[in-house]
C-alpha cells in the first residue's frame, strides 16, 4: 500500500497542489419531515466521504484533538487502533512551540507526528476568546441577565485584544507579545500543512451584546475574505505541497438572523467547507446547524467545532454536521470520567476500587479488552501516566464508535430508532455530557 505520508494525493514537484485532491462526496441524506428544523422541513443529516490528500474520511465522523501534534499519553498508532480516521491540532499552540517552520521542514503535520491520515488545524480564533476572556474550553454557560462587551472570567487577566486588523496577545507560556491576523494565520497553517484548515475568525461568548455580535460577524467576514486571498496566494507559491482545504467559520451566537447572515457571507466566498463555530445555547444547537445549512451549498462539508455531548451530537448530525471535534473525551478521561452507552461515571469513586470488570461491558477498545476499573482507578489516583492512556483510549473509542454507528444508521435507514434508543439508555440515570 502507498504510504500516504510520503505520497499525498495531488502533490507534484514544482507545481501547486491540485485542488481536486480535496472534495466531498455525499451518499445518503435523511429525508425531510414535518418536524425538520431546516427550511421547508429539511433535515440535512447525511453520510458521505471527504477526500483529502492524506486519505478519506467517512462521515459523520469524530475527530480526536491532538492539540500539540500529540494526544496526551496516546501514540498515533494507538489512535489508529481506536478507529480514528483523522486528528485535529491547534495552530496557535504549534506556533508557540515548536514553531511552524519546524513542521514545514519535517514535511507537514502528518509526517511530523507519524500519522498516516488526514489532519485538521484550527486557526487560532478560539484563543482570541480563551486568552481574551479567560473561559478556557467551556463555552456553555448560564448567561441569564448577563450582557457585557468587556466580559472576562473571574480572576483572569485579559491577554488578547482585538482590533480591525487582527489580534495582539500575550503568550501564556512566557508573557511575550505576539500578533495574529488573517494573513499570519494562513501563513502559519500553510507551514503546519494540515489537510483541512480554518479561516481566522473572532469567537464571541453568549454574554456579548447583540451590538457586539453584529460587529463581530462583519469583522469575521472581512477577515474571511483576506484569508481566502492569502490562501490562494500561498497555494500558488508553495510548490510541491499537497492542496490544503480552507473552511470558513460561521459565527453569530444564538441569533437566528445573525447566523443566517454569517452563513450567507461565508457561502459567497470560495471556501472548501464550513466550520460551525462559537458559543451556542444547548437548547437550540440543532436549530443553529439547520439555519446555517439552509444558507450553504450541500457540496461543502460541515465541521461542528468543539461538540462532544451525546445529545448535541445527535442534534447536530440530524441537522447537517459532518465532522466533530472536542477535547472533552481525553480531558475528562484524565480526570476519571468514563463515557459508556449507559451514561458517564467517575471511575475514581470508592465503589470501583475492588471492581475487576472492564470500564464498559461489551466495549471493544484495547483498555476494556485488557484492564479493569480497579486498575484504571489505581493508576489515576497514583497519577501514573498509564492511567491517562487507558482512560483516553476508551473515551476516544466511545465517540469514534458512536459516530460510526450513527453513520451506519443513516445508511441503513434506522437513524431515528437508533437515536431514540441510544439517548434513552445514555440519559436514563441523568448522565451529563
For 2-52, how does the pLDDT look when each residue is reduced to its tens digit (9 = 90+)?
688 889 999 999 999 999 999 999 999 999 999 999 999 999 999 999 999
7 annotated binding-site participant: no
Whether residues 69 and 112 share a domain: the answer is: yes
* For range 244-271, the mean pLDDT: 97
In a domain, 277, yes or no: yes
112 annotated binding-site participant: no
> Which of 310, 325, 340 is the last residue in one of the domains?
325
Whether residues 280 and 134 share a domain: the answer is: yes
CA 118 to chain centre: 13
> Which of 325, 358, 379 is the last residue in one of the domains?
325
In a domain, 8, yes or no: no
pLDDT-derived band at 202 (thresholds 50, 70, 90) equals confident
CATH number at 248 reads: 3.20.20.105
123 annotated binding-site participant: yes
Nearest-10 Cα torsion for 98, 102, 103, 107? -160
Q: What is the pLDDT of residue 146?
A: 47
CA 291 to chain centre: 19
Whether residues 269 and 347 share a domain: the answer is: no
* For range 243-267, the mean pLDDT: 97
274: its cell numbers = 464550513
In a domain, 4, yes or no: no
pLDDT at 332 over 70: yes
316 annotated binding-site participant: no
Whether residues 296 and 351 share a domain: the answer is: no
124 annotated binding-site participant: yes
In a domain, 141, yes or no: yes
pLDDT at 312 over 60: yes
Among 60-69, 151-160, 214-223, 231-240, the range scoring the smallest mean pLDDT is 151-160
Whether residues 90 and 114 share a domain: the answer is: yes
278 annotated binding-site participant: yes
Whether residues 312 and 341 share a domain: the answer is: no
* Boundaries of domain holding 400: 327-428
Instruction: State the chain's mean pLDDT as an integer.
Output: 92
Reported as a single tens digit per residue, the pLDDT across 119-149 is 999 987 666 555 544 444 333 334 444 455 5
Hey, which bits of 84-220 come out as E strands?
Answer: 87-90, 119-122, 160-162, 166-170, 177-181, 196-198
Tell me if residue 35 falls in helix, strand or coil: coil
289 annotated binding-site participant: no
Whether residues 306 and 391 share a domain: the answer is: no
> Which of 325, 358, 383 is the last residue in one of the domains?
325
Q: Which residue has the higher pLDDT, 163 or 127?
A: 163
Q: What is the pLDDT of residue 143?
A: 44
- DSSP for 197-218, please give it: EE-------TTS-HHHHHHHHH
Whether residues 320 and 336 share a domain: the answer is: no
Whether residues 288 and 227 share a domain: the answer is: yes
> What value, to the nearest 5°, has the Cα angle with vertex 263 and ends 260 and 265?
110
In a domain, 184, yes or no: yes
Whether residues 116 and 200 share a domain: the answer is: yes
Whether residues 253 and 382 share a domain: the answer is: no
Whether residues 129 and 253 share a domain: the answer is: yes
Q: How many domains does the chain have?
A: 2
Catalytic residues: 122, 325
Q: What is the pLDDT of residue 135?
A: 40
In a domain, 14, yes or no: no
Beta bridge partners of 65: 88
- DSSP for 354-422, please give it: T--S-SSTT--SHHHHH--HHHHHHHHHTT-HHHHHHHHHHHHHHHHHHHHHHHHHHHHT-HHHHHHHH
Q: What is the pLDDT of residue 175?
A: 83
Amino acid at each position: 500500500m502507498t504510504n500516504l505520508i510520503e505520497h499525498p494525493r495531488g502533490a507534484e514537484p514544482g507545481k501547486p497542489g491540485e485542488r481536486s485532491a480535496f472534495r466531498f462526496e455525499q451518499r445518503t441524506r435523511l429525508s425531510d419531515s414535518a418536524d425538520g428544523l431546516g427550511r421547508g422541513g429539511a433535515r440535512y443529516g447525511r453520510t458521505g466521504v471527504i477526500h483529502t490528500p492524506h486519505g478519506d474520511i467517512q462521515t459523520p465522523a469524530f475527530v480526536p484533538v491532538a492539540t500539540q501534534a500529540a494526544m496526551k499519553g496516546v501514540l498515533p498508532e494507538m489512535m489508529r487502533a481506536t478507529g480514528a480516521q483523522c486528528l485535529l491540532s491547534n495552530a496557535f499552540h504549534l506556533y508557540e512551540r515548536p514553531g511552524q517552520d519546524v513542521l514545514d521542514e519535517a514535511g507537514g503535520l502528518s509526517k511530523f507526528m507519524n500519522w498516516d491520515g488526514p489532519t485538521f488545524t484550527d486557526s487560532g480564533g478560539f484563543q482570541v476568546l480563551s486568552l481574551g476572556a479567560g473561559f478556557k474550553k467551556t463555552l456553555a454557560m448560564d448567561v441569564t441577565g448577563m450582557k457585557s462587551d468587556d466580559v472576562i472570567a473571574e480572576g483572569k487577566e485579559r491577554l488578547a485584544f482585538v482590533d480591525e486588523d487582527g489580534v495582539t496577545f500575550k503568550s501564556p507560556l512566557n508573557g511575550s507579545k505576539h500578533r495574529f491576523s488573517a494573513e499570519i494565520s494562513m501563513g502559519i497553517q500553510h507551514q503546519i500543512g494540515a489537510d483541512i484548515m480554518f479561516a481566522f475568525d473572532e469567537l464571541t461568548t453568549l454574554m456579548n451584546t447583540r451590538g457586539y455580535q453584529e460587529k463581530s460577524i462583519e469583522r469575521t467576514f472581512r477577515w474571511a475574505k483576506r484569508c481566502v486571498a492569502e490562501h490562494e496566494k500561498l497555494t500558488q507559491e508553495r510548490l510541491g505541497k499537497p492542496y490544503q482545504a480552507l473552511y470558513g467559520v460561521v459565527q453569530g451566537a444564538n441569533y437566528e438572523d445573525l447566523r443566517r447572515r454569517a452563513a450567507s457571507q461565508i457561502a459567497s466566498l470560495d471556501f472548501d467547507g464550513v466550520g460551525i463555530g462559537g458559543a451556542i445555547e444547548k437548547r437550540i444547537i440543532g436549530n443553529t446547524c439547520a439555519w446555517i445549512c439552509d444558507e450553504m451549498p450541500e457540496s461543502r462539508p460541515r465541521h461542528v467545532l468543539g461538540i462532544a455531548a451525546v445529545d448535541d451530537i445527535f442534534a447536530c448530525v440530524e441537522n447537517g454536521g459532518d465532522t466533530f471535534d472536542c477535547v472533552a473525551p481525553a480531558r475528562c478521561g484524565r480526570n476519571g470520567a468514563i463515557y459508556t452507552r449507559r451514561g458517564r461515571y467517575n471511575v475514581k469513586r470508592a465503589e470501583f476500587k475492588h471492581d475487576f470488570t472492564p470500564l464498559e461491558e461489551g466495549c471493544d477498545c484495547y483498555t476494556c479488552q485488557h484492564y479493569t476499573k480497579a486498575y484504571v482507578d489505581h493508576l489515576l489516583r497514583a497519577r501514573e501516566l498509564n492511567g491517562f492512556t487507558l482512560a483516553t483510549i476508551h473515551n476516544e473509542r466511545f465517540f469514534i464508535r458512536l459516530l460510526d454507528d450513527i453513520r451506519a444508521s443513516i445508511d441503513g435507514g434506522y437513524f431515528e430508532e437508533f437515536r431514540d434508543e441510544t439517548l434513552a439508555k445514555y440519559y436514563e440515570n441523568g448522565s451529563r455530557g
